[in-house]
Amino acid sequence: MRVWIDVTNSPHVPFFRPLLALLDERGHEVLVTAREYAQTIELLEDADIAYEVVGPPHGGASVGRKVRAMAARVPALRRFAGGRDIDVALSHASHELPIAARSLGIPSAYAFDYEFALVQHGLGSRAATRVVVPDVIPQDRLDRLGARARKVRRYPGLKEEYALAGFSADPRAAARLGVEDDRLLVVVRTPPEVSLYHRHANPLFAAVLERLGTEPGVRAVVLPRTAEQRDALDGLGLPSLVVPERAVDARSLVALADLVVSAGGTMNREAVALGTPVYTTFSGRLGAVDEALVANGRLRLLEDAADIELARKHAADRPPPRDPALMLDLMLSALDR
């Protein structure tokens, strides 16, 4: 069987790594397309995943540029796939893939775990053959995206628990960035400033940087999404911040960290899955996954930077790993039309 996977953002690389390994074990041929955005290409290369860049880069914060980028990328994906005899197409939040696949008569699976990216997931859900989501998202929230119950397949837990199956942290990951053993390690993820669903100012995040960046007993490794964010962080001149120059082994850093403070989603849930205390500064509407994590105390909402508790992490309380074969089989159910 020939499987097509489209990777358009940094979190998609760790999500698909175990699925790619399973597809290889089962003897399937895989074609990977990618978009230039954030550290996606660097992470694919670090993971030794063969790929082809297709279409323009991410459209940025502008709605108009996003639309123009999508209008150019969908036909580019069609040209890539045409004549390749692809059996099924898989993506996580790459809404352009199911659109292109549907136009070519290729069954597709579209996965996501944040239901309030209405435009993006509305397009992907309507075009896809199957929609794969966490079981905590209520069906009525999926209905408004065009993901009717008949096409939805659900998985228990967090997608990060599947992506982290078999993961072992690199004990030298922090030291490679110059983080001293006698300092608290805090991993910080910047806001998704170019996302349509996160268009609000986030002054709390600036206050978090000021708080952590001036703490003498802390090393705060800040992981930017874009070159513009990296330049802005470098310009702050805060002595306790460490800003890597390129993509790093973020999952190992999260596993080793005493604390994570993230304005995004995937890194919050990676911290939960790895047993690291985590605050969220996300200023958009919480989705069902994060609502559940907050309700059971596994994710903490941060409202004031002064409330950050800085302490050594106790022994990690990591949930049992999930079997990535379940995730793969749910996505391949797109073939059962």
pLDDT in tens, 130-156: 999 999 999 999 999 999 999 999 999
Residue 236 contacts residue 213 (beta carbons within 8 Å): yes
Q: Taking residues 249-259, what's their average pLDDT?
A: 95
Residue 195 confidence (pLDDT): 47
The answer to whether residues 40 and 157 belong to one domain is yes
Residue 280 confidence (pLDDT): 95
* Residue 317 is assigned to a structural domain of this protein: no
The answer to whether residues 186 and 244 belong to one domain is yes
Predicted confidence (pLDDT) per residue in 93-123, tens digit: 999 999 999 999 999 999 999 999 999 999 9
The answer to whether residues 146 and 98 belong to one domain is yes
Residue 95 contacts residue 116 (beta carbons within 8 Å): no
Predicted confidence (pLDDT) per residue in 198-239, tens digit: 444 568 888 999 999 999 999 999 998 888 888 888 889 999
* Residue 41 is assigned to a structural domain of this protein: yes
Q: Please say if the pLDDT value at position 42 is more than 80.
A: yes
* Residue 13 is assigned to a structural domain of this protein: yes
The answer to whether residues 264 and 329 belong to one domain is no
The answer to whether residues 137 and 245 belong to one domain is no
Residue 264 confidence (pLDDT): 76
Confidence of residue 6 (pLDDT cuts 50, 70, 90): very high
How far, in Å, are 19, 158, 194 from residue 327 at the CA level? 8, 11, 28
* Residue 133 is assigned to a structural domain of this protein: yes
The answer to whether residues 50 and 133 belong to one domain is yes
The answer to whether residues 121 and 227 belong to one domain is no
The values of phi and psi at residue 101, to 5°, are -65, -45
The answer to whether residues 185 and 162 belong to one domain is no
List the structure tokens of 313: 């992490």
How far, in Å, are 17, 90, 112, 187, 294 from residue 25 at the CA level? 13, 17, 25, 34, 37
Residue 65 confidence (pLDDT): 62
- C-alpha–C-alpha distance, residues 264 and 188, integer Å: 10
Residue 59 confidence (pLDDT): 53
The answer to whether residues 329 and 267 belong to one domain is no
Q: Please say if the pLDDT value at position 196 is more than 50.
A: no
The answer to whether residues 6 and 137 belong to one domain is yes
Residue 67 confidence (pLDDT): 66
- C-alpha–C-alpha distance, residues 291 and 288, integer Å: 5
* Residue 314 is assigned to a structural domain of this protein: no
* Residue 315 is assigned to a structural domain of this protein: no
Residue 66 confidence (pLDDT): 61
Residue 199 confidence (pLDDT): 44
Nearest to 302 by CA among 283, 318, 288, 322: 283
* Residue 280 is assigned to a structural domain of this protein: yes
Strand partners, 29: 2
Residue 230 confidence (pLDDT): 87
Q: Taking residues 307-328, what's their average pLDDT?
A: 88
The answer to whether residues 76 and 96 belong to one domain is yes
E runs forming strands in the chain = 2-7, 29-34, 52-53, 88-92, 108-111, 130-134, 152-155, 184-189, 218-223, 241-242, 259-262, 278-280, 300-301
Greatest alpha-carbon pair distance for the chain in Å reads 59
* DSSP letter (8 states) at residue 176: G
Q: Taking residues 301-315, what's their average pLDDT?
A: 92
- C-alpha–C-alpha distance, residues 310 and 295, integer Å: 22
Average pLDDT value for the chain: 91
Q: Please say if the pLDDT value at position 61 is more than 80.
A: no
Confidence of residue 316 (pLDDT cuts 50, 70, 90): low
The answer to whether residues 134 and 181 belong to one domain is no
Query: Could you count the other beta carbons within 10 Å of the beta carbon of residue 207?
Result: 16
Residue 197 confidence (pLDDT): 46
Q: How many domains does the chain have?
A: 2
Instruction: Tell me which long-range contacts 110-116 makes (C-beta under 8 A, separation of at least 24).
Output: 111/15, 111/159, 111/331, 113/137, 113/158, 113/159, 113/265, 113/269, 113/287, 113/289, 114/197, 114/265, 114/287, 114/289, 115/141, 115/142, 115/145, 115/287, 115/288, 116/141, 116/197, 116/284, 116/285, 116/287
Residue 98 contacts residue 253 (beta carbons within 8 Å): no
CATH number at residue 57: 3.40.50.2000
Q: Which residue range(s) make up the domain with 102?
A: 2-166+322-335
Residue 34 confidence (pLDDT): 97
* Residue 118 is assigned to a structural domain of this protein: yes
